[in-house]
Amino acid sequence: MVALKGHACYGAINYASSGRYGRCPIFNGFLSKEMFFTETLATPVLGGISWLLPALAALGGILSVAYSLRLVHAVFFKPAREEPPKSPHEPPHLMRLPVEILVVLCVVVGLFPGLLATGLLELASETVIGSPLDFYLAIWHGVNLPLMMSLLAFVIGIAIYWRHGDVRRFTQQFKGVDARRVFERILISVGYRAEQLIAALDGNSLQRYVGWLWLAALLMGGIGLVQITDLTGAAGNQPLDGIVILGAGMLIFGVSPPPPPTATG
């Protein structure tokens, strides 16, 4: 890994981006992490094991702190493993400008979320769901469980990186397991099972395929019709006349009127 010691611009931008991804205070990442933790604690979708959602969220926060610390420390403070072929230098200002704007926005949203982000979130929620969401953005919400989860993520994340040598030695015992090969084997197995299921249901028979299609359509349509309590609706019935009868016949039996006669010369 090539170190970038002494490059202030690289350091400032990288510190800010790492703080954002590490969910540190004064950055917008800390605010989004608090909101994420709050939602996982208030979501009972898994019933008795709903505690699994905040546990996984806390684990993600721990890992984000650990890898952000590793990024900053390895790039700017540890000696380089090898000398780069060319000496690193500051990029031109126009190349830094987009990243600098993003860094400033991360800090501004983190410090003043109510002033900058509230209006945008209200506009986005009204566009997506048709009504504004009930939320309150602020840096401090008091001592609560999401804050404790954030502190836990910081403490354990720092401890993991501090003892990353022990973690690396622990993971070395699993070198014989190729994660990519395991993933590809799972994909092949799932694809093979899917082909078996399709062969059992389809059987290379058009009649069977059409039958399953009709059965699925009737089943899904029946589920929707069963839930309808009022079959008439608020509109009145159309008066029965010749045009209505002709249209109904065309829809039911596929009867189409004969083509108009063509003029002959």
Tell me: the pLDDT tens digits for 15-56? Answer: 555 445 545 666 777 777 888 888 888 887 777 788 888 889
C-alpha 18/C-alpha 10 separation (Å) is 12
Q: Quick check: helix, strand or coil at residue 258?
A: coil
Q: Is 50 exceeded by the pLDDT of residue 1?
A: no
Phi, psi (deg, nearest 5) at residue 2: -90, 125
C-alpha 132/C-alpha 126 separation (Å) is 5
* Average pLDDT of the chain, as a whole number: 76
- CB of 31 within 8 A of CB of 110? yes
Least confident of 57-71, 106-120, 145-159, 184-198: 106-120
Task: Please indicate whether residue 12 or residue 194 has the higher confidence score (pLDDT).
Answer: 194
C-alpha 109/C-alpha 137 separation (Å) is 10
Per-residue DSSP letter, 130:
S
Q: Report the pLDDT averaged over residues 148-162.
A: 87
Q: Report the pLDDT averaged over residues 177-194.
A: 88
DSSP H helices, 24-92, are 28-41, 52-76
Q: Which residue has the tokens 């403070």?
A: 77
Q: Is 90 exceeded by the pLDDT of residue 243?
A: no
C-alpha 82/C-alpha 142 separation (Å) is 47
Chain center to CA of 248: 48
Work out the pLDDT band at 184, boundaries 50, 70, 90. very high
Per-domain residue ranges of the chain: 7-80+91-176, 178-223
Overall size of the chain counted in residues: 265
Per-residue DSSP letter, 148:
H
The per-residue pLDDT for 126 is: 77
- CB of 113 within 8 A of CB of 32? no
C-alpha 37/C-alpha 7 separation (Å) is 35
From the list 132, 111, 130, 108, the residue with the least C-alpha distance to 120 is 132
Per-residue DSSP letter, 134:
-
Q: Report the pLDDT averaged over residues 152-172.
A: 84
Q: Is 70 exceeded by the pLDDT of residue 9?
A: no
Q: Is 80 exceeded by the pLDDT of residue 60?
A: yes
6: its two tokens: 């002494």
- CA-to-CA dists, residue 109 to 93, 116, 138, angstroms: 24, 6, 10
Query: Is the overall model pTM greater than 0.75, yes or no?
Result: no
The per-residue pLDDT for 8 is: 45
